[in-house]
Amino acid sequence: MGSEFVVCEPVSLERAETATFRTHQKIPVILRPCNREQVARAMSIACRNGVPVYPVSSGKNWGYGSRVPVVTGCALMDLSGMKRIVDFNERLGYVTVEPGVTQQDLYDELRARNSKFWMDASGSSPRCSLIGNAMERGFGHTPYGDHFAQACALEVVLPNGETVRTGFAGLPSARAGQVYRWGAGPSIDGLFSQSNLGIVTGMTIWLMPAPEYFQAFFFQSDREDGIAAIVDALRPLRMDGTLRSAVHIANDYKVLAGIQQFPQGENAPLVPERMKVLRERLKFTRWSGSGALYGTRAQVAEARRLLRQALKGATSKLQFLDDRTLRVAAKFTGLYRMVTGLDLTRTLELVKPVYGLLRGIPTQQPLGSAYWRKAMPVPADPDPDRDGCGLIWTAPVAPMEGEEAARLCGMIERRLLAGGFEPMISITLLTERAIACVVSLTYDRDQPGEDEKAMECYLALRTELEREGYYSYRLATPALPAPAADSAYERLLRSIRVALDPGDILAPGRYVPRV
Amino acid sequence: MGSEFVVCEPVSLERAETATFRTHQKIPVILRPCNREQVARAMSIACRNGVPVYPVSSGKNWGYGSRVPVVTGCALMDLSGMKRIVDFNERLGYVTVEPGVTQQDLYDELRARNSKFWMDASGSSPRCSLIGNAMERGFGHTPYGDHFAQACALEVVLPNGETVRTGFAGLPSARAGQVYRWGAGPSIDGLFSQSNLGIVTGMTIWLMPAPEYFQAFFFQSDREDGIAAIVDALRPLRMDGTLRSAVHIANDYKVLAGIQQFPQGENAPLVPERMKVLRERLKFTRWSGSGALYGTRAQVAEARRLLRQALKGATSKLQFLDDRTLRVAAKFTGLYRMVTGLDLTRTLELVKPVYGLLRGIPTQQPLGSAYWRKAMPVPADPDPDRDGCGLIWTAPVAPMEGEEAARLCGMIERRLLAGGFEPMISITLLTERAIACVVSLTYDRDQPGEDEKAMECYLALRTELEREGYYSYRLATPALPAPAADSAYERLLRSIRVALDPGDILAPGRYVPRV
């Protein structure tokens, strides 16, 4: 590949071996291919020589393992240098990108082109790879929030170094490759998500037409078990398409970690009784939700009416926010403070990133909560790996029923508090019928013993959740490979693995059980 | 399996060897398992003895090959006896079915339960299997029209006789198996659609909540190239979610075949000049479209406003129809005839099945057009295989652009007319960005030489379409396996095939190239 693409210096290797929780895997070398041909060549060489390779896009899989391979001794293939936007279609609303293209890159591209389309952004970091997130089946906040469901035409380098394109995209002069997912014959896109069966070096992402009108909404409930009523109230609207995007509901711990770091003078973990005091002092509630309405003014007005009707009784407060309200609010913060004594500036600072996410604008603000237990303040350029932030994510999925949501939250809160950690939870109305419950176990890796304590708590939580039938949509490396289905399923995955990668070269142990 | 599940009598075998076009493949035996265990047992026996098996659900894959295996000598596995509705959830809106459950079966179930949910139906026949259609990636008319996209939790018997369940559904006591598609790890559902890698013996289908209000719409254009303007006018509404379901647009030939059989006294093929005369006489237009709006009254009203605005200039007529209008019309047909001299009854008869499909009510009415060139009238119980109806379908996909639609239709109309057949075309706005163009090549198999002439025309059409980059979303057996992608893709499919079915036992040649 040429030595300029190969990194061996110890500092870089050690950095790459660092995640947001304790890992022991060693990385002997980092490869930085800058195009598909180099990826393919590297894979055929690796295959011939039996060298395991672990590919990452931007490598910002924080909370799930960052860049660290599942097993020790893998060459790390860093694809962040592949930054081409290969295709852009303003008429049909799609873009084709390489793995190094980040959320911010696409956002900048849309702005530079003065595009009539919006992207969807995850709440992670503007520097996250679009392909990386879609392949891990991450999600965002707009109607295009299910990233894998809005992607097609994958370009994949197989473990043997060959390249395939999925759907119609691989057929000669195909006209519908970028607009139709399935192609003809078996649809194999899914094989390359949450997997180690190929390296995705290209992907088409569908973009959302900017609506005529956009309105965000925020709601609150201070009832202890408010989550149940909220989920049940919103389900019909999510199912009938009135709510076209995911609604996110955070518990009080999650909100507090979004506002500030661990409050000085309090004992860890913050117990519910203390949270109650803090909630009153800082004026937030047990549950807070956000979402948005997209459409013409009349479509949004009708959705607003239905939302008001649905949430009546389930929430104590429901507020709507659009560009105009936001501008007016920004203008009158001074006056507002004079009259009420309250500082609206801070509120606006907190609201703006969420408001932006709801319209697909990437932000690094939520990443700040990874510094919750840190002694240092959140730096301007946050990097949880570098800064010793402890973070382990679990994300169990459940049917969209209030009872299920309440039960899940109860289990998680009890388990994390018992383990000594604040249970930060968000419940996302992910699809028409399913909720995902994202739990962040956040701690300070620089505190001796915390790594072990956190991992123990994480494993206990996972065991309990899986025993109750709540499986995570996405797994952190300590949970890999995926939980054992019946053995026939495992045998099936393994036989596909053997067919594609007999030498167990590509990201061994990642999701698919080892050969 | 017991002899009661095995059919060898010549009449049944010959019937099963008959499609809607010429085939030569022989079927030595028909197996009729009535549960998954029998399917699994049959497969392990077949595997051990090297007997190829060709599974069909209801076997009504008319126009694409009916029940006839791709290669000769396969035991036909007829799953139509597996008719259990295994699960039904009225809260979350889903149903789990076996392959023998038909559209009519599910419709009856919904009615019997007085369910608040609607199903989606394809325009084929009430007796078509839900699993069969979803696995072939068929589509219908409501917001849940992309059948494969609304299915999850597949239960699959592998070629070796083992059973797997996909997504979370295969994990112990999983709670979200029926509501969340992906599960954790690679998503393998796609592998079993348009494929021969497994036999789908169970599937969960999501159901659509019945809207508060429903309104169908119908539009017409008598401009020769009207299709281009219509597609361009509707694209923004399909992309922004105002139109939540597929819109279907038929050319004049398709409409005529829906109204009546080949007109007596005309020469075949009916040339465009004659069509013009018939259009004037029978009062229909060059292009006719239908679709529907779903939601609250206000949501539908706003969608109606936007649709009117969009179609102004692109169509000559746009009409809306709801339950009330339909009831009133039915009441006043007599009066209407007295005043205008026109018989509305016939129009209502034609409109009602389409109106029903738009609300997910199965109908056999469109199947009548398979008898277009037949001397016999459409029987009460149509069966194109039995009645010697000639029917070959091609369904190229294109980007949702007017120019593409017009170009495609032009190519198809020229090619079919040159081959001596009436070009019946419908253009479906299938997804937010793609159109599918369903072409039915319809003839009378009892006319000597027609089988050959039709197949020749079909092959020429396919060659021309593929040369121009228009590939079909679904393939008739003479087109199988799927068109050659680059050889790496073919090698990949073949290696998966070898891993799952080394003996090439399950439906050899179906979509995946032979080992």
Interface test with A, best of B188, B200, B238 (most A CBs within 10 A): B188
Question: Which residues of chain A have a CB within 8 Å of the CB of B158?
Answer: 488, 492
CB-based contact A225:A169 (threshold 8 Å) = no
CB-based contact B30:B49 (threshold 8 Å) = no
Rounded Cα distance between A121 and A103, Å, is 6
CB contact under 8 A, A186 and B183: no
Residue B330 has pLDDT above 90, yes or no: no
Q: How many CA atoms lie within 13 A of A173 on its CB side?
A: 7
Check CB contact of A170 with chain B, cutoff 8 Å: yes
A333 pLDDT tier (thresholds 50, 70, 90) = confident
Burial class (CB in 10 A: 0-12, 13-18, 19+), B173: exposed
Question: Which residues of chain B have a CB within 8 Å of the CB of A137?
Answer: 182
CB contact under 8 A, A470 and B495: no
Q: Which residues pair with A76 in a beta bridge?
A: A30, A54
- For residue A150, give the chain B residue with the closest CA: B432
CB contact under 8 A, B500 and A481: no
H or E stretch covering B392:
strand B389-394
Q: Which tokens go with B251? A: 């050319």
Rounded Cα distance between B253 and B416, Å, is 12
Question: Which residues of chain B have a CB within 8 Å of the CB of A469?
Answer: 171-176
Q: Which domains does chain A have, with CATH numbers?
A: 85-209 (3.30.465.10), 213-467 (3.40.462.10)
Q: Which tokens go with B419? A: 């081959």
Check CB contact of B338 with chain A, cutoff 8 Å: no
Amino acid identity of residue A222, one-letter, is: D
Question: Which residues of chain B have a CB within 8 Å of the CB of A475?
Answer: 184-185
A480 pLDDT tier (thresholds 50, 70, 90) = confident
Determine the Cα angle at B226 with ends B221 and B232, to 5°. Answer: 115
| Average pLDDT, integer, range B319-345 | 79
Q: What is the DSSP string of B455-491?
A: HHHHHHHHHHHHHTT--BSS--GGG-SPPP--HHHHH
- Can you tell me whether residue A428 is helix, strand or coil? strand
% of chain B beyond a pLDDT of 90? 90
B347 pLDDT tier (thresholds 50, 70, 90) = confident
CB contact under 8 A, B305 and A298: yes
Question: Which residues of chain B have a CB within 8 Å of the CB of A430?
Answer: 180
Determine the Cα angle at A473 with ends A467 and A474, to 5°. Answer: 105
What is the nearest CA distance from B235 to chain A, expressed in angstroms?
A: 9
pLDDT at A187: 97
- For residue B148, give the chain A residue with the closest CA: A182
Start-to-end CA distance of chain A, whole Å, equals: 28
Q: Which of B438, B440, B421 is nearest to B370 (CA)?
A: B440
Rounded Cα distance between B247 and B236, Å, is 13
pLDDT at B25: 97
Start-to-end CA distance of chain B, whole Å, equals: 28
Rounded Cα distance between A135 and A190, Å, is 9
Q: Which of A383, A394, A459, A453 is nearest to A421 (CA)?
A: A453
Residue A106 has pLDDT above 90, yes or no: yes
- For residue A395, give the chain B residue with the closest CA: B184
* Closest CB to A488 among B93, B163, B495: B163
Q: Which of A489, A497, A490, A425 is nearest to A461 (CA)?
A: A425
- For residue B472, give the chain A residue with the closest CA: A184
Residue A484 has pLDDT above 70, yes or no: no
B429-451 burial string, b = 16+ CB within 10 Å, else e? bbbbbbbbbbbbbbbbbebeebb
Query: What residues have CB less than 8 Å from B226, skipping those under 6 apart?
Result: B285, B286, B287, B314, B315
- For residue B484, give the chain A residue with the closest CA: A171
pLDDT at B513: 84
What is the nearest CA distance from B166 to chain A, expressed in angstroms?
A: 8
Q: Which of B511, B392, B507 is nearest to B69 (CA)?
A: B507
* Closest CB to A241 among B143, B185, B193: B143
- CA separation, residue B430 to residues A232, B246, B315, B438 (Å): 32, 5, 20, 11
* Closest CB to B498 among A399, A492, A499: A499
Residue B167 is classified by DSSP as G
- CA separation, residue B254 to residues A3, A329, B405, B427 (Å): 64, 58, 16, 10
CB contact under 8 A, A194 and B209: no
Q: Which of B286, B223, B231, B245 is nearest to B398 (CA)?
A: B231
% of chain A beyond a pLDDT of 70? 97
What is the nearest CA distance from B261 to chain A, expressed in angstroms?
A: 32
Question: Which residues of chain A have a CB within 8 Å of the CB of B180?
Answer: 397, 430-431, 433-434, 473
Q: Give the model confidence (pLDDT) of B380-427 as tens digits.
A: 999 999 999 999 999 999 999 999 999 999 999 999 999 999 999 999
Check CB contact of A492 with chain B, cutoff 8 Å: yes
Check CB contact of A162 with chain B, cutoff 8 Å: yes
CB-based contact A317:A278 (threshold 8 Å) = no
Question: Which residues of chain A have a CB within 8 Å of the CB of B192?
Answer: 186
Q: Which of A224, A254, A230, A228 is nearest to A243 (CA)?
A: A230
Q: Considering only residues 209 to 238 of chain A, which have any Cβ-Cβ distance to chain B shorter than 8 Å?
A: 209, 211, 236
Angle, helices B323-331 vs B333-340, to 10°: value is 60
Per the rule left: phi > 0, alpha: psi between -120 and 50, beta: everything else, B304 is alpha
Q: Considering only residues 47 to 106 of chain B, which have any Cβ-Cβ distance to chain A shorter than 8 Å?
A: 91-94
How many cross-chain Cβ pairs, A to B, lie less than 8 Å apart? 282
Q: Give the model confidence (pLDDT) of B154-166 as tens digits.
A: 999 999 999 999 9
Q: Give the model confidence (pLDDT) of A161-190 as tens digits.
A: 999 999 999 999 999 999 999 999 999 999
Q: Considering only residues 253 to 312 of chain A, which have any Cβ-Cβ distance to chain B shorter than 8 Å?
A: 294-296, 298-299, 302, 305-306
CB contact under 8 A, A184 and B493: no
Amino acid identity of residue A471, one-letter, is: Y
Percent helix, strand, coil in chain A (nearest 5)? 35, 20, 45
Residue A341 has pLDDT above 70, yes or no: no
Q: Which of A155, A148, A145, A43 is nearest to A97 (CA)?
A: A155
Q: Give the model confidence (pLDDT) of B65-114 as tens digits.
A: 999 999 999 999 999 999 999 999 999 999 999 999 999 999 999 999 99
Check CB contact of A463 with chain B, cutoff 8 Å: no
Residue A142 has pLDDT above 70, yes or no: yes
Query: What residues have CB less than 8 Å from A252, skipping those under 6 apart?
Result: A275, A278, A279, A284, A285, A286, A287, A288
Rounded Cα distance between B206 and A241, Å, is 14
CB contact under 8 A, B474 and A184: yes
Q: Considering only residues 347 to 386 of chain A, which have any Cβ-Cβ distance to chain B shorter than 8 Å?
A: none
Q: Give the model confidence (pLDDT) of A13-50 as tens digits.
A: 999 999 999 999 999 999 999 999 999 999 999 999 99
Q: Give the model confidence (pLDDT) of B38-56 as tens digits.
A: 999 999 999 999 999 999 9
pLDDT at B481: 74
CB contact under 8 A, B175 and A399: yes
B326 pLDDT tier (thresholds 50, 70, 90) = confident
CB contact under 8 A, A185 and B194: yes
Residue B202 has pLDDT above 90, yes or no: yes
Residue A388 has pLDDT above 70, yes or no: yes
Question: Which residues of chain A have a CB within 8 Å of the CB of B93?
Answer: 239, 432-433
Q: What are phi and psi of A205, to 5 degrees?
A: -115, 130
Residue B213 has pLDDT above 90, yes or no: yes
Question: Which residues of chain A have a CB within 8 Å of the CB of B178?
Answer: 399
| Average pLDDT, integer, range B230-257 | 97
- For residue A196, give the chain B residue with the closest CA: B186
| Average pLDDT, integer, range B216-223 | 96
pLDDT at A412: 98
H or E stretch covering B221:
strand B213-221
The answer to whether the peptide bond before residue A99 is cis (omega within 30 degrees of 0) is: no
A514 pLDDT tier (thresholds 50, 70, 90) = confident
Rounded Cα distance between B141 and B191, Å, is 25
Q: How many CA atoms lie within 13 A of B263 on its CB side?
A: 17
* Closest CB to B176 among A168, A179, A434: A434
Residue B338 has pLDDT above 80, yes or no: no
Amino acid identity of residue B436, one-letter, is: A
CB-based contact A206:A181 (threshold 8 Å) = no
Query: What residues have CB less than 8 Å from A78, skipping those under 6 apart?
Result: A16, A30, A31, A32, A56, A59, A67
Question: Which residues of chain A have a CB within 8 Å of the CB of B397?
Answer: 168, 176, 180
The 3-class secondary structure across B329-365, one letter per residue, is: HHHCHHHHHHHHCCCHHHHHHHHHHHHHHCCCCCCCH
CB-based contact B391:B440 (threshold 8 Å) = yes
* Interstrand relation of A30-31 and A75-78 (parallel, antiparallel or unpaired): parallel
Average predicted confidence (pLDDT) for chain B? 95
With tokens 């399913």, the residue in question is A434
Burial class (CB in 10 A: 0-12, 13-18, 19+), A65: buried
pLDDT at B380: 95
- Can you tell me whether residue A66 is helix, strand or coil? coil
Complex-level ipTM = 0.96
Rounded Cα distance between B217 and B247, Å, is 10
* Closest CB to A193 among B186, B194, B209: B186
Instruction: Residue count of chain B, please give it.
Output: 515
Q: Which of B65, B107, B102 is nearest to B81 (CA)?
A: B102
CB contact under 8 A, A186 and B511: yes
Q: What is the DSSP string of B87-145?
A: EEETTTTEEEE-TT-BHHHHHHHHHHTT-SEE----SS-TTSBHHHHHHTT-B-SSTT-
A382 pLDDT tier (thresholds 50, 70, 90) = very high
Handedness of CA B334, B338, B343, B344 (dihedral sign): negative
B340 pLDDT tier (thresholds 50, 70, 90) = low
Burial class (CB in 10 A: 0-12, 13-18, 19+), A341: exposed
Query: What residues have CB less than 8 Å from A179, skipping those under 6 apart?
Result: A92, A94, A152, B399, B400, B431, B433, B434
Residue A301 has pLDDT above 70, yes or no: yes
pLDDT at A340: 66
CB contact under 8 A, A186 and B190: yes
pLDDT at A350: 80
CB contact under 8 A, B191 and A188: yes
| Average pLDDT, integer, range B295-307 | 98
CB contact under 8 A, B486 and A186: no
- For residue B213, give the chain A residue with the closest CA: A240
What is the nearest CA distance from A325 to chain B, expressed in angstroms?
A: 24
H or E stretch covering B442:
strand B434-444
Residue A256 has pLDDT above 80, yes or no: yes
- CA separation, residue B151 to residues A431, B147, B315, B373 (Å): 13, 7, 35, 36
